[in-house]
Structure 1
Amino acid sequence: MEMTPNIDGKRSPMTTTTELPSILQTGQGTTQEALELFDRLETVDLDFMWGRWRGRGIYTGHPMDGLLELGNWYGKEFIDPETVHPLLFSGRQGEIFKVAPNLKTMEMVLKLPMPQNPAFKPFLRLLNGLFKTEKSQARLRMMEYRGKVSATMIYDCLPINDSFRKINENQVFGVMDFKQSTQPFFFILERVTGQP
């Protein structure tokens, strides 16, 4: 069970949302705060990750902050170790579709941080439409990151690993480790229940 510091500095179990660190409640903080939280959380195994997950970013000053949400990012889906859909988006009628990640787009975002302006929404929707796919775009493996072995999503065509740690039974804290960026990107995934 995860332990969080009490007012007196001792550690006690993190059991309710009222005890969650502020970065999880507000969705923003520093990179250092996010890494410290990530390092304290429990690891997860592959079985824990199966299914569809709804995602949201944590704002830490990363060039990608808010960009996925602007494009109507839905989340991720883990079918089996070889079949993972890392980018699910919501369409105009609420349909969920899969998108193939693109290295050139990632490099552009990091070099020319795009403003989080609703005017960019049509452009991002167009990009998503161009990269629609039904093919798996990643794998899931147990890998070590920051001193602990936990479930990690490995993109097929990008130098990116997403490592996951457990917040609770239905939420994980994710860190995107991109080879071309020294600053990690953080996000939360919440398990979608009642899926067919």
Structure 2
Amino acid sequence: MSAQTQLLEMIQTGQAYAPDLIFPLYDQLDPISIEEILGTWKGGKFDGGKDPDPIKWYGKRFVSADYCEPLLCRRDDGSVYAYDNLGAAQMRLMAWRGKVSASLIYDKQPIMDYFRKVTDDVIIGLGDVKGKPTDFFFHLTRQ
């Protein structure tokens, strides 16, 4: 079974998956260009819904290489807004784990997200927070 098929099945189940299971699949995925990632994406985590989500994370919006809204959240009424406490972000092509792919660099925090393509409408991100283990995987689906 391909890495893409396995990841799509994992996303559909909504269950928790350990980073050690996701890393080899992530490494098999193709890079994604900045142009391919532009737009609004709905996000999800591989935590099985067990971790609390105080900001009600919705996803990310990639407007251009130089301006991105890295945290879109939901209000109680269901509307989506850009959570700006961590600032905006920009995208650049970065080498990570042997491949050059679109990456998100936060303006106000030592955070980078490295993206790989599952399908044209689904991508996997790996969050890298300076000083913490690089093992936070998430998925985004184009809206």
TM over 0.5: yes
2:31 equivalent to 1:43:
yes
- State whether residues 173 and 187 of structure 1, in contact with CA within 8 Å, keep that contact through their aligned partners in structure 2: yes
Counterpart of 1:20 in structure 2 is 6
2:127 equivalent to 1:176:
yes
- Distance in 2 (CA, whole Å) between partners of 1:92 and 1:24 is 25
Unaligned runs of 5+ in 2: none
Instruction: Normalising by structure 1, report the TM-score.
Output: 0.65
Which of 150, 156, 159 is the matching residue for 2:101? 150
When residues 100 and 67 of structure 1 are mapped into structure 2, their CA distance, relative to the original with a 3 A threshold, is farther
CA offsets, 1:157-182, max 9 Å, x none? 11111011111110001100111202
Alignment of 1:7-86 (within 5 A): 14=4, 19-21=5-7, 22-27=9-14, 28-59=16-47, 66-68=51-53, 70-86=54-70
SS at match of 2:17: coil
Instruction: Normalising by structure 2, report the TM-score.
Output: 0.88
- Distance in 2 (CA, whole Å) between partners of 1:152 and 1:101 is 20
SS at match of 1:93: coil
Identity over aligned pairs, percent:
32
- Distance in 1 (CA, whole Å) between partners of 2:28 and 2:38 is 23
Q: Which amino acid aligns with 2:41?
A: W
Counterpart of 1:4 in structure 2 is 2
CA offsets, 1:114-155, max 9 Å, x none? xxxxxxxxxxxxxxxxxxxxxx61001100111110000000
Decide which moves more: 90-99 or 170-179. 90-99
- Distance in 1 (CA, whole Å) between partners of 2:93 and 2:134 is 22
SS at match of 2:62: strand
Q: Which amino acid aligns with 1:58?
A: F
- Higher Cα Rg: structure 1 or 2? 1
Q: Which amino acid aligns with 1:156?
A: D
- State whether residues 126 and 134 of structure 2, in contact with CA within 8 Å, keep that contact through their aligned partners in structure 1: no
| Residue 101 of structure 1, CA deviation | 4.1
- State whether residues 87 and 101 of structure 1, in contact with CA within 8 Å, keep that contact through their aligned partners in structure 2: no
Name the structure with the higher strand share.
2
Q: Which amino acid aligns with 1:4?
A: S
- Distance in 1 (CA, whole Å) between partners of 2:103 and 2:121 is 17
SS at match of 2:115: strand
2:122 equivalent to 1:163:
no
Q: CA RMSD in A?
A: 2.2
Name the structure with the higher helix share.
1
- Distance in 2 (CA, whole Å) between partners of 1:74 and 1:89 is 5
CA offsets, 1:44-73, max 9 Å, x none? 00011101000011128xxxx6334x5321
- Distance in 1 (CA, whole Å) between partners of 2:98 and 2:71 is 27
